[in-house]
Copies of this chain bind each other. A is one copy, B any other.
């Protein structure tokens, strides 16, 4: 069977939509999206309510979002959930990375809070990893998912304007001289946690018996 012919994209964040569509550019699907995106692929407009990310794990949150979009669009839906795990903070903020500084926190507020929390941690102990779970949920209840990781370390002075979230202070191990926010999208997607998770999910859908 392989890929469904149509897939709903659960996210409403424009930057994330762009990133996901770039990573999934070779997926032979038509997208159903709740939000217009300039210069994006042709797609069907669909609607569904936004969900609260009340889960305790990346997987729970990704499934909450994918299920809502699958119900709303009437076709299988893809969602992801991701976060950063800082070793010196015992893995925090993890699944609540997007809400680290509060329920309505902006990227800038979250970033500032994380820098504050790690400012006393010696350079050699500022290790961290980005983690992403990408899930696909079918309206009938079937669900599959995959995970991606990106190991790195944190710096205290943000650099670069690309990406999202904590990218300006995250230096990936595989690109140790630039922050994630300094990498062009193709380079970021090739090594990122989201790229890894979505490529694995794509393989899973492609090989679907």
Interface stretch (choices A5-13, A145-153, A182-190): A145-153
Residue A18, interface by CB 8 Å: no
Asked whether B151 lies within 8 Å of A129 as measured between CB atoms, the reply is: no
A151, B208: Cβ atoms closer than 8 Å: no
Q: Are B147 and A204 in contact (CB under 8 A)?
A: no
**What B residues does A151 contact at CB under 8 A?**
146-147, 200, 203-204
Bound-complex Cα distance A147 to B147 (A)? 12
Residues 177-209 of chain A, each 1 if its beta carbon lies under 8 Å from chain B, else 0: 000000000000000000010001001100111
Q: Does A127 reach chain B (CB closer than 8 Å)?
A: yes
Residue from B144, B148, B173 within 8 A of A204 (CB atoms): B173
Q: Is A52 interfacial (CB 8 A cutoff)?
A: no
> When the two chains form their complex, are residues A173 and B203 in contact, meaning their CB atoms are under 8 A apart?
yes
* Shortest CB distance A202–B (Å): 10
Residue A123 at the B interface, CB < 8 A? yes
Known: A129-B147, A151-B147, A151-B200. A176 touches B87 (CB 8 A): no
| A86 smallest CB distance to B (angstroms) | 13
Interface residue ranges of A158-175 to B (CB < 8 Å): 173-174
* Choice from B142, B200, B208 contacting A173 with Cβ under 8 Å: B200
Inter-chain CA distance A203–B174, complex, in Å, is 9
Known contacts A151-B204, A173-B207; 17 further A-B pairs (Cβ under 8 A):
A123-B209, A124-B209, A125-B144, A127-B144, A127-B145, A129-B147, A146-B151, A147-B149, A148-B149, A149-B149, A149-B196, A151-B200, A173-B200, A173-B203, A173-B204, A176-B203, A176-B207
**Would you list the 5 A-B pairs with minimal beta carbon distance, nearest first?**
A151-B200, A173-B203, A124-B209, A146-B151, A123-B209
